[in-house]
Structure 1
């Protein structure tokens, strides 16, 4: 298979075994290609080519024998992140032709050599899911806030984010947004988010964020240089604007770090929902590109907790749930919202690029 022939095939995300491993890499190649991430597609294609060989030492043996669900575990991105970190750190200069976008014909050989030379460095990258914290996703959250205010909910938001990673989206009060001509946020911000807007603009309202807390099972400290490098490694090398946003977010975190607890999502939500809610505020659960990494049983517990809390919500103390997650059937990310009281159905507001490059509004 070549990059230009890679096709995304809807598959059971919980499938395991050699076939599931190969499908995970093939789907990742197709996904990267459709997202204009040509360099990452090259890396994932090279890794895919190595699956049926004996190259790659212990790292690739572990990949071939992956016991868990390769697709749900985002196995391709775990190793791709480690390889990118090798390049960013300067530890493996022979990968430069790949990351400079030259598309070398021997990409698989270059990557196999790098994996074999750096087994101790790369093996830990397989231990946990990718960290893809991205300020651009805040634009989707902001559009959802405007929509919620338009529905009559208070525009003072108390944010609870699960899967916060480094907490970049918890700092969204400091960002400036242009959403289809609707501007919101401080003009002096170093981070200006102007996604390509498709469709009608969102409601021209206003909002404020009075509190923002999050959790992650493995939070990233942006003030730590090594941890910040790990987060940068999950950014596609093609997306220079994302690196600029990351640098600005790191500067913001060094000024006033976000509040990210090291907790499971369900435990964090249970604790925070039990706290008194200020009257005249909207409490919001929000998450982006993380739902697939939460175990099924825990996801079910979160749904149950939110529905129970929703029954206690009132006009003066409403509850909302904002999700920016992949639709596994359409292979696209959808911005959906549910709120209480006033209706328990999910409302699809938009289809959006997973990193915030564009938003196709339907709200």
Structure 2
């Protein structure tokens, strides 16, 4: 069981990540919660007495999602001022809000945030380009932790990666992340299939689910909200292949299926690994190692991930491929 000090510290960790990701208001709120949470509300008590590992459980993002939902619903003008950049006594405001809206906020702690950020597809695409460079551009994609499946639209998005373009020209979503250095070389690439799984997949076409996902989009990033809404519209127009399944069960089953010659089978995920129980993660490692050992030049295997490196405080994209090398 985590201590109160460790649970408070998780909000300071999230403050760091918000600062790294150019969200100073969210960083300020997380810092205020780290020092100012009390047991005056049931929600505050639940946070301070959290029994799990608070950073792995994304405890701060659970609470931040609930607070943002109140703002989006127009439920608290005082809180809306904080989210708009109010520079007064934020800690006192938050304390009052937690008491006023205790019943509405507490359920947001019940499950992990399922932030379904289409922008992560750009990081995954950079890894896929490297896979295509190594082993050829015919790719079959398997994603775990797909949430509502918006990254399963990766073959329908347009990407501008430092001036290098990938994806259909007519896509309603163009993702252009900040790019430093030379643009990537774009080898021929064709995504022949995209499938995903999640323990609790979301139906993003449900207005209530759309509203929940919107609450997890940081208020300082309106462009992300617009992209989320457009991507959901793409799912409404044509769905994605998303299954309810345990990640390890699903990976083992997919890797056991026949693989077409000339196609690389790619496991991908983004900001998922920290949420997996260690036995599940170990099974996936073992399944990929076994598949890699069977891989041939005609039927290669790859693993593309975007996950946080907590040692250096950065998000990292990594690529493994078989038969090939690690980078």
TM range (shorter): over 0.9
- Counterpart CA distance in 1 for 2:177 and 2:168 is 17
- Counterpart CA distance in 2 for 1:63 and 1:124 is 12
1:1-363 pair list within 5 angstroms = 16-51=2-37, 53-55=38-40, 57-103=41-87, 105-151=88-134, 153-343=135-325, 345=326, 347=327
CA shift, 1:266, in A, is 0.5
CA shift, 1:320, in A, is 0.3
How many residue pairs match? The answer is 327
- Counterpart CA distance in 2 for 1:280 and 1:63 is 51
Q: Structure 1 segments of 4 or more deviating over 6 A?
A: none
For residue 34 of structure 2, give the secondary structure of its aligned residue in structure 1.
helix
**Residues 20 and 71 in structure 1, CA contact (< 8 A), matched pair in contact too:** no
CA shift, 1:101, in A, is 2.0
Unaligned runs of 5+ in 2: none
Q: TM-score, normalised on structure 2? A: 0.96
- Counterpart CA distance in 1 for 2:240 and 2:15 is 34
CA shift, 1:138, in A, is 0.9
Q: Deviations over 1:305-362 (max 9, x none)?
A: 000011111111111000100111001011000011123x3x1xxxxxxxxxxxxxxx
Q: Deviations over 1:112-142 (max 9, x none)?
A: 2222222222212111112221111111121
- Counterpart CA distance in 2 for 1:114 and 1:281 is 54
1:354: which partner in 2? none
Provide the alpha-carbon RMSD of the alignment. Answer: 1.5
CA shift, 1:67, in A, is 0.8
- Counterpart CA distance in 1 for 2:124 and 2:188 is 13
**Residues 180 and 201 in structure 1, CA contact (< 8 A), matched pair in contact too:** yes
- Counterpart CA distance in 2 for 1:75 and 1:277 is 40
For residue 243 of structure 2, give the secondary structure of its aligned residue in structure 1.
strand
- Counterpart CA distance in 2 for 1:270 and 1:148 is 21
- Counterpart CA distance in 2 for 1:218 and 1:190 is 27
